[in-house]
């Protein structure tokens, strides 16, 4: 069962509270004016996965947006992949040992 603490208590006892969360797995419900506003608990493996997925989703959304921007401005009759492959061939044949 989570313990309930006010924001003021959290401010005054931050080190003690974080230590209890980290070392003993204690959970706290943090209140403001008597109303619950947050839960403080230990970081779990599921949290790591959720953060990783959120970062991945953000990166993919940025790539999609960039791809749409490039596609809208593309004027070459050749595809981007064709141009990249051609450049790779040039770099491969002119590379020095």
Q: How many distinct structural domains can be found in the chain?
A: 2
Residues 49 and 89 reside in one and the same domain: yes
Going residue by residue through the chain, which has 97 residues, state the pLDDT in tens, using 9 for 90 and above.
899 999 999 999 999 999 999 999 999 999 999 999 999 999 988 999 999 999 999 999 999 999 999 989 989 899 888 888 888 888 777 666 5
Same domain, 51 and 29: no
> What is the per-residue pLDDT for 1?
82
Q: Which residue range forms the structural domain that includes residue 58?
A: 45-94
Verdict on whether the full-model pTM lies above 0.85? no
Give the position of tokens 């004016």.
33
For residue 84, the 8-state DSSP code is H
pLDDT for the residue 27: 96
Confirm if 80 and 67 have CB atoms less than 8 A apart. no
How many Å apart are CA 66 and CA 52, to the nearest integer?
21
State residue 14's pLDDT score.
Answer: 96
State the Cα–Cα distance between residues 2 and 67, nearest whole angstrom.
47
**Same-domain check for residues 49 and 90:** yes
Q: What is the pLDDT of residue 96?
A: 60
Q: In what order do the strands lie in the sheet with 35-40?
A: 3-6, 28-32, 35-40
CA distance 28 to 17: 9
Q: Residue 37: its pLDDT value, please?
A: 97
């Amino acid at each position: 069962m989570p313990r309930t603490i006010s924001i003021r208590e959290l401010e005054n006892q931050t080190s003690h509270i974080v230590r209890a969360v980290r070392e003993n797995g204690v959970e706290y419900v943090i209140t403001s004016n008597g109303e619950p506003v947050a839960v403080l608990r230990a970081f779990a493996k599921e949290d790591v996965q959720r953060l990783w997925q959120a970062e991945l989703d953000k990166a993919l959304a940025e790539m999609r947006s960039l791809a749409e921007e490039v596609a809208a401005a593309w004027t070459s009759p050749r595809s981007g992949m064709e141009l990249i492959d051609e450049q790779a061939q040039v770099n491969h044949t002119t590379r020095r040992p």
